[in-house]
Amino acid sequence: MSRAPEQITEDGIPYAALDAVAAILRVLAQVAPPGSGAASDLDAWARHVLVLAQAPGADEADPSQRDWHGLSRHVVALVRDDSAAVARSIGELRGAVWSMVEHLSQVVVGDAASDLDARNQLTQLRAAIDGPAEDLRESALATVRRLSQIIEEKHERQLQLASELGRRVTELKAELEDIRREADIDPLTQVGNRGVFQRELPRALQMRCLLDEPACLALVDIDSFKQINDACGHTAGDAALELIAGALVRSFPRRSDIVARLGGDEFAVILPATTAHDGLRLTERFLEVVRTIEIPQTGPDTSLTVSAGVAEALPAEQADAWLARADRALYLAKARGRDCVVIAAEEPERADGPSVGEQPPAATAPLAGDR
């Protein structure tokens, strides 16, 4: 929808500028990952910019104002989320291209041998031209037969190599998918690893902002885990970690819930569309499940309990601040005797430090370890 550059909107924005922004958004939509929903969102933003249609996530359209802040936030989040996928795609492309080079080199070598054979046949035919007619006839027929055979062999070889290349590319794609999945899974507990948690925590905040719905973060730490390792051995400790991970998956079963092991004996659960009250209720139910767990490698006197801190995301809160509040709540649960849940205070970290009884965690430091 092209307009003259001098035409402007009622709020003083040139229509040409709006057309340019909409064109950029539609190009981004064309290259968005299929099935992600990003393409439809970008198309909706383009319509919003051009004709003030309702912006994605807005309750209703505002016929007098364009949501430039919302558009900027959405595009920045999209680019940031796609950066890791782009890096993985480049790695996959490099692997596929190298496999193709490897197989094509075989074609070149094979074709070179065939071409040499064909040149030899033509050389013999040229030599027969000056000889007797009968010899020329026989040589020509032999050359035709051999050249036909060379062409058929080359064609068959190329078909075989093309088939092998296609099979290998398919295998590489499957292997890369397996590697990608394995890279996100903690090998012992079979839940998400710390990398998954670090990727999904900011996304949960983005979805909270976009959908205007609550989100909760629960940090879980096994009580006296070092004592279990020291008294019963690391085999018992590993069994405890696996049992806790299984209990977490059963206690937080929604597809949108993210269960991850942060390291050592500490786990995290990201709960979209969950208030602090519901997060507390679900986590307390999980603690009840843990109290019934028996570790096979230990005696009957060995009990298994956990402590937890729950924090509901605050408006405009960053991921590290959200994590720090949940971690402070976990420290308080430990200080109150363990085997309990504490809800984080609904205010950012104070400049004068925590109150009496609190221990200030470092948001960027490893969270794992016995407490």
pLDDT, tens only, 204-238: 999 998 888 999 999 999 998 998 888 888 888 99
pLDDT confidence of 157, banded at 50, 70, 90?
confident
Q: pLDDT by residue (tens digit) across 351-371?
A: 344 433 344 443 333 344 445
Among 27-41, 110-124, 142-156, 207-221, top mean pLDDT goes to: 207-221
Contacts of 71 (CB under 8 A, 6+ apart): 45, 48, 49, 55
Catalytic residue, candidates 67, 257, 265, 327 = 265
DSSP percent split of the chain into helix, strand, coil, nearest 5: 60, 10, 30
Q: Are 186 and 246 in contact (CB under 8 A)?
A: no
Please give the torsion angle defined by the CA atoms of residues 338, 342, 345 and 350, in that order, rounded to the nearest 10 degrees.
10
Q: Are 324 and 360 in contact (CB under 8 A)?
A: no
Told to judge if 265 belongs to the known catalytic residues of this protein, a careful annotator would answer yes
Query: Across 56-70, 71-85, 259-273, 336-350, which has the greatest mean pLDDT?
Result: 259-273
**Would the pTM count as exceeding 0.75?**
no
